[in-house]
Amino acid sequence: MSSCKFISASELPTKFGDFIISVFEEPNGKDHIALTIGNIYEQQSVMCRVHSECLTGDALHSLRCDCGPQLQGALEQLSMNKSGILLYLRQEGRGIGLVNKIRAYALQDQGHDTVEANEMLGFPADLREYNICLDILEHFNITSVNLLTNNPKKVEALEEVGIKVTKRTAIHEGENEKNKQYIQTKRDKMGHLR
């Protein structure tokens, strides 16, 4: 039985194209969304981005990370592809939440990298979970994806929960002067690809 349930869907016109927004809810009340475009039902490997919420990057356009540009880049790619799905998971700050993310930012201001900051707060480098992805993709009858990511651990995590990743497509968005160390830490300590 699914650990989350479909709640509702609506049209969502955006500057990237006309999407359908669907909301899903876990038993604990946490909600997640899926943005779909085009016909995703007749494809063997649906273009897919799994994006974790980043209020500072996605909504406030922070230059500390590459989240906002990656979100926009993924929506552009899905639109250009004329089909695909973006899962927007409510797991702020690699799963540590907004308050602890800002605490981690304060430690980064003192010279620590993102991994060190999380660990100093008593967290692992990444607390995100991907079980919810299987539930959402099953709702759309999607069994395999072309995953838009630079993170090979995300590929492994999705495959561990039962999602077949047939291809990984890189996203080259968002590197700037303010986040060079952050990007380098993701590459050196978290294994992100270019």
Q: Which sequence positions are flagged as catalytic?
A: 126, 128
Amino acid letter, residue 176: N
Any idea which residue has 């995300």 for tokens? 154
Tokens of 179: 């986040």
Amino acid letter, residue 21: I
Q: How far is CA 133 from CA 90, 128, 174, in A?
A: 12, 11, 24
CA distance 84 to 149: 14
User: Is the separation of the CB atoms in 127 and 100 below 8 Å?
Assistant: no
Q: Phi/psi at 8 (nearest 5 deg)? A: -165, 165
Any idea which residue has 């986040």 for tokens? 179
CA distance 17 to 30: 27
